[in-house]
Amino acid sequence: MTTEMRASAREMRHMVGRYLHARNCPGYAVNAVRDAIMAAQAEGADAVSEMERLHDQYDGARTSFEVIAANAAGDRVELDGRGTPALLLAPALIDELVLALGAGATEVQIVNTPGVWLFESLGDYAAVRGVAFDFRRAAHGDGTGEDGAILIPRRIAKTPVHPAESAAGPAMRRILLDGYVMDADQFWRLFHESNEALTPDSELSRRHAGSQLYDEDGNLLGEVSEETYLHLRRDESDPERAVLA
């Protein structure tokens, strides 16, 4: 028997963000991808399960489409994911819809983007950014329609933001009030995996707050830099990559 639980928006935001960091999702993309996952989950998609399914595909992943003018008239644009999972391209999709509308496009075709079904659950996410779209699957490649779709975008007035209400649309506002209903085993599995992104526990880590380092009696010793922490040091064989000690 599956046990369900409710997870608050705050706890989900922490867990999803840490999980993406722990799986080496490109750091600059984590917050945007996290927010798209939370928005899609709020609209009924099982985005968290998709996030977990892709656990080994984040490291070095692309986060943008290849954009191709699909016809001479310029009213149709093709976005080629080149095999990148839709989950990682969700934030880029909305940016590209805005640009396509600005260029006069009336149709956006998405190809080579596994998990394209996720985009159908980004209505609120798009609306607060001033874009709406109609979504339909489009057979592509093997003909299954799993990696292709056609979107008909249109510009709309941005969803108004009111005090004490969510800036992410009505679905996220409901989540802020009610939380996410989650499979308990899945939540705690991802929670513990996401903790891999945290600073390893040590005597040093228990005696500092932010960049301020204290001794065992609570006396301020001074400021520390990232070089103090082995887990943030660079791998000498690959200076562009941060590794865990």
Band (pLDDT 50/70/90 cuts) for residue 160 is: low
State residue 162's pLDDT score.
Answer: 62
State residue 72's pLDDT score.
Answer: 61
Angle between helices 30-42 and 170-178 (to 10 degrees): 80
Average pLDDT over residues 52-80: 88
CA distance 177 to 193: 26
Average pLDDT over residues 57-76: 85
CA distance 130 to 142: 34
Q: Which two structure tokens, joined as six digits, stand for 143?
A: 């003909």
State residue 133's pLDDT score.
Answer: 94
Least confident residue range of 3-7, 25-29, 97-101, 138-142: 138-142
Is residue 245 scored above 90 in pLDDT?
no
Cβ neighbors of 113 (< 8 A, separation 6 or more) are 65, 79, 80, 81, 84, 85, 86, 89, 147, 148, 149
Cβ(182)–Cβ(2) below 8 Å: no
227 vs 99, residue with greater confidence:
99
* pLDDT tens profile 86-138: 999 999 999 999 999 998 999 999 999 999 999 999 999 999 888 999 998 87
State residue 243's pLDDT score.
Answer: 39
Least confident residue range of 92-101, 182-191, 215-224: 215-224
State residue 201's pLDDT score.
Answer: 64
Is residue 209 scored above 60 in pLDDT?
no
Is residue 204 scored above 90 in pLDDT?
no
